[in-house]
């Protein structure tokens, strides 16, 4: 498992549990398909910032749009799983 895949797995777990997602999600599932609103993305940004120790804004999450893209963003910020 490479670094991005490991980060994706951690982020996927956070999204599934903290965002009250009832359907099965994958790393490439688009947030818009899950109907995640801006408040949920703000809460998710706080969770990710606390977990990984780097600032992750809700705008970055909105732009990324999926767990896989967030993992790429975090890896680019130097986060290691």
Tokens representing residue 56 in the block: 């992750």
Sign of CA dihedral 81, 46, 8, 61: negative
On whether the CB atoms of residues 45 and 61 are closer than 8 A, the answer is yes
| pLDDT tens, position by position, 38-68 | 898 999 999 999 999 999 999 999 999 999 9
What is the rounded distance in angstroms from the CA atom of residue 30 to the CA atom of residue 65? 6
pLDDT (mean) for 68-77:
95
| pLDDT tens, position by position, 10-19 | 999 998 888 8
**Model-level pTM?**
0.89
In sequence order, the 6+-apart residues with CB closer than 8 A to the CB of 15 are 21, 25, 44, 67
pLDDT (mean) for 16-36:
84
What SS3 state is found at 77? coil
What SS3 state is found at 51? helix
With a cut of 80, say whether residue 21 has pLDDT above it: no
Domain 3-76: homologous superfamily in CATH? ACP-like (1.10.1200.10)
Q: Which residue has the higher pLDDT, 21 or 73?
A: 73
With a cut of 90, say whether residue 32 has pLDDT above it: no
Domain boundaries, the chain: 3-76
């Amino acid at each position: 498992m490479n670094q991005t895949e490991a980060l994706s797995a951690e982020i996927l777990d956070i999204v599934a549990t903290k965002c009250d997602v009832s359907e099965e999600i994958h790393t490439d599932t688009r947030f818009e398909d899950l109907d995640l609103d801006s408040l949920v993305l703000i809460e998710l940004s706080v969770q990710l910032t606390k977990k990984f120790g780097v600032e992750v804004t809700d705008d970055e999450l909105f732009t990324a749009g999926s767990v896989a893209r967030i993992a790429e963003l975090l890896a680019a910020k130097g986060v290691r799983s």
